[in-house]
């Protein structure tokens, strides 16, 4: 009789486990406590050293990069010198990733650009190089002009200083000068004023 009752209890327990919802099996946790391990229907109470195993669905992690938007590349310097059609194609290629274009569409854009705009881009690059060269020449000329003006101003200042020194020395002898020497002094002074003074 006891054997029959024990057998019935085992059968009932097996039936209960068999009829439990699948979610029950998904929420079982295997925890460790030192060297021993045990099963629990709740998460392990505290982290311990060693391996912590758990039965159940894996925790979902956010997928990195889902909201990533590629940045825009800088427009090439030769872009203003392209024809309008090639400039639009070049800009479409440059902004394609940021606009969400897939690799197939990008490949078509690149192929279209190579077929239509290779020569146009070469000419645009040459024009850009020419413009930069002209700008460099213009800057060098402007710098040379400024340097020349400074040099002339320095030379004129030195000459005026020397002229004034000579004029001051002659004025000291003005009382003893002959009429001709006095006339030369007046002319020398007039030249100094015209060259070295503002009025």
pTM above 0.75, yes or no: no
pLDDT tens per residue across span 25-72: 456 777 777 667 766 677 777 654 444 444 444 455 545 445 555 677
User: CA-CA distance, 52 to 157, in Å (whole number)?
Assistant: 92
Tokens (6 digits) for 19:
């009829």
Calculate what percentage of the chain has a pLDDT beyond 90. 40
Are 94 and 82 within 8 A, CB to CB? no
| Vertex 69: Cα angle to 64 and 73 (nearest 5) | 135
Terminal CA-CA length for the chain: 141
Q: Judging by beta carbons within 10 Å of its beta carbon (0-12, 13-18, 19+), is residue 78 exposed, middle or buried?
A: buried
């Amino acid at each position: 009789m006891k054997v029959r009752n024990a057998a019935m209890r085992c059968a009932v327990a097996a039936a209960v486990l068999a009829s439990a919802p699948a979610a029950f099996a998904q929420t079982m946790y295997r925890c460790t406590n030192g060297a021993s391990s045990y099963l629990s229907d709740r998460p392990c109470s505290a982290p311990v050293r060693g391996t912590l195993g758990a039965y159940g669905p894996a925790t979902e992690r956010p997928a990195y990069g889902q909201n990533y938007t590629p940045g825009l590349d800088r427009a090439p310097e030769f872009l203003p010198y392209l024809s309008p059609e090639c400039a639009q194609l070049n800009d479409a290629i440059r902004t394609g990733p940021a606009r969400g274009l897939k690799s197939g569409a990008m490949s078509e854009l690149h192929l279209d650009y190579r077929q239509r705009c290779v020569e146009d881009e070469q000419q645009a690059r040459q024009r850009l190089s020419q413009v930069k060269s002209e700008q460099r020449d213009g800057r060098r000329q402007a710098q040379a002009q400024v340097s020349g003006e400074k040099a002339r101003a320095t030379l004129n200042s030195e000459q005026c200083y020397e002229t004034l020194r000579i004029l001051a020395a002659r004025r000291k002898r003005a009382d003893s000068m002959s009429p001709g020497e006095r006339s030369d002094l007046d002319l020398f002074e007039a030249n100094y004023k015209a060259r070295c003074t503002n009025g």
